[in-house]
């Protein structure tokens, strides 16, 4: 297939995304106010809790089997590599540009986390429907493309909320500690004197001291009881801290739960025969999930367009940071992705399916994840700067994704 034909196939899905994104931005204008901030929040909640889980779970259930799970093992590794390399490049960018401290977590997040779900879910099915697509019959390409993209979304969400979330949380907590330290510098010592007093709850009585020196007495039982209680409390405290730091609630987001359900339905033959296929007794559940899930892609694209409008207001962010992030995400990462994926194919770690190889390559070339904006709102740092970064990265994605997708199509076909 000629390179010009591949360019046309690659550009059509991106053009569709741009048109719907532009519509979302238009609806978010103050004069129109159909997709205002409050409306976007409400629609985003429906997408997060209903549309995305239905889309991910339904498509994985239809296309994933136990055998295919074993064949797709490289995708989690591939996504993890993009996160690790991206964060390393982000750290280098921070050292070169020396940004303000409150932006370090944002820069690391933008370089590490790509839009592994929504954008791939939009581009791949649209590419399958294009005339002359190199991925075979449109219906087969669409089914498998959606399942690969759904798996990408689920794995990306897990890494996003376990790796990037904690990276940005640590950066924000360091800033908050500095603020608190400055606030308490002038506090008189007498106000902190209470910390020097022993706690009345601790059993440091004469009986306990006697028991420590003379084991085998009644006091020895008190010491042992106290020791085991203390150990138990410490274990509970550490488990609670780990749970809070990892944010397990965020890791097991609705999309991740939908992916788990889809894996179970697809991998267990008895459940699959009950739910999947026109002859299945409960196929109405699958049909309902597909009907709800089909609304996810247009809704998400409209929301992205509305959110990007905030970046037009600008902020005091350094241009060197914006260009640095663009260079990391659209130049260095895709080049490294070609080396990694082609190397995996050469050593037999990845199968010969061109659609699967294409999605692995695209995972290195996508813009930053939109959830980074959610995290900046959560931690209260770098919100306006994040809007500007998202505006420029998603604006440039129209050019970058088209060019890289053309090259990737040429490579895999």
pLDDT, tens only, 235-294:
767 666 655 555 556 566 777 788 788 888 888 888 888 888 888 888 898 889 888 988
Look at residue 225 in the predicted model and tell me its pLDDT: 55
CA distances from 380 to 21, 87, 366, 377 (A): 26, 21, 25, 5
C-alpha closest to that of 157 among 412, 314, 369: 369
Higher pLDDT, 346 or 44: 346
Higher pLDDT, 110 or 377: 110
Computed over every residue of the chain, the mean pLDDT equals: 79
CB 121 within 8 A of CB 161: no
Look at residue 363 in the predicted model and tell me its pLDDT: 93
Specify the pTM: 0.74
Encode pLDDT of 331-371 as tens digits: 999 999 999 999 999 998 888 889 999 999 999 999 998 77
- At 205, the pLDDT band (50, 70, 90 cuts) reads very low
Distance CA 389, CA 308 (A): 9
Look at residue 319 in the predicted model and tell me its pLDDT: 84
CB 336 within 8 A of CB 85: yes
- At 315, the pLDDT band (50, 70, 90 cuts) reads low
Show the DSSP H helices in 214-370 as ranges: 218-246, 248-251, 254-267, 269-275, 283-293, 296-308, 319-327, 333-346, 354-362
pLDDT of 221 above 60: no
pLDDT of 213 above 50: no
CA distances from 52 to 40, 102, 257, 309, 384 (A): 16, 32, 10, 23, 27
């Amino acid at each position: 297939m000629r390179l010009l034909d591949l360019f046309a196939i690659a550009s059509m899905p991106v053009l569709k995304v741009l048109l719907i994104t532009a519509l979302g931005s238009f609806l978010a204008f103050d004069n129109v106010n159909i997709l205002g901030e409050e409306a976007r929040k409400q629609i985003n909640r429906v997408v997060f809790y209903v549309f995305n889980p239905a889309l991910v779970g339904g498509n994985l259930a239809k296309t994933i089997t136990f055998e295919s799970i074993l064949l797709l093992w490289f995708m989690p590794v591939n996504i993890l590599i993009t996160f690790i390399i991206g964060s390393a490049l982000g750290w280098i960018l921070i050292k070169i540009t020396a940004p303000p401290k409150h932006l370090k977590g944002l820069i690391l997040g933008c370089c590490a986390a790509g839009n592994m779900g929504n954008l791939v879910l939009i581009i791949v099915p649209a590419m399958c429907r294009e005339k002359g697509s190199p991925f075979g019959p449109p219906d087969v390409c669409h089914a498998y493309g959606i399942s690969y993209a759904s798996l990408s979304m689920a794995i990306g969400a897990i890494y996003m909320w376990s790796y990037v979330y904690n990276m940005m949380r640590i950066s924000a907590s360091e800033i908050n500690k500095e603020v608190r330290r400055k606030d308490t510098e002038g506090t008189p010592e007498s106000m902190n004197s209470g910390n020097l007093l022993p706690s009345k709850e601790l059993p440091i009585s004469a009986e306990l001291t006697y028991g420590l020196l003379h084991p085998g007495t009644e006091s020895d039982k008190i010491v042992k009881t106290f020791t085991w209680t203390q150990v138990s409390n410490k274990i509970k405290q550490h488990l609670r801290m780990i749970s809070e730091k990892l944010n397990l609630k965020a890791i097991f987001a609705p999309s991740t739960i939908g992916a788990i359900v889809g894996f179970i339905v697809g991998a267990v033959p008895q459940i699959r025969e009950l739910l999947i296929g026109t002859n299945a007794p409960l196929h109405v559940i699958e049909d309902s999930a597909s009907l709800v899930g089909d609304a996810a892609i247009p809704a998400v694209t409209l929301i992205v367009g509305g959110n990007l409008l905030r970046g037009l207001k600008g902020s005091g962010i350094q241009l060197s940071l914006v260009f640095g992030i663009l260079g990391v995400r659209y130049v260095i990462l895709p080049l490294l992705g070609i080396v990694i994926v082609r190397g995996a194919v050469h050593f037999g770690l990845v199968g010969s399916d061109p659609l699967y190889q294409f999605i692995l390559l695209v995972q290195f070339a996508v813009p930053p994840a939109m959830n980074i904006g959610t995290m900046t709102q959560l931690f209260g740092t770098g919100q306006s700067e994040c809007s500007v970064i998202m505006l420029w990265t998603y604006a440039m994605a129209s050019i970058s994704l088209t060019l890289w997708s053309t090259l990737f199509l040429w490579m895999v076909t």
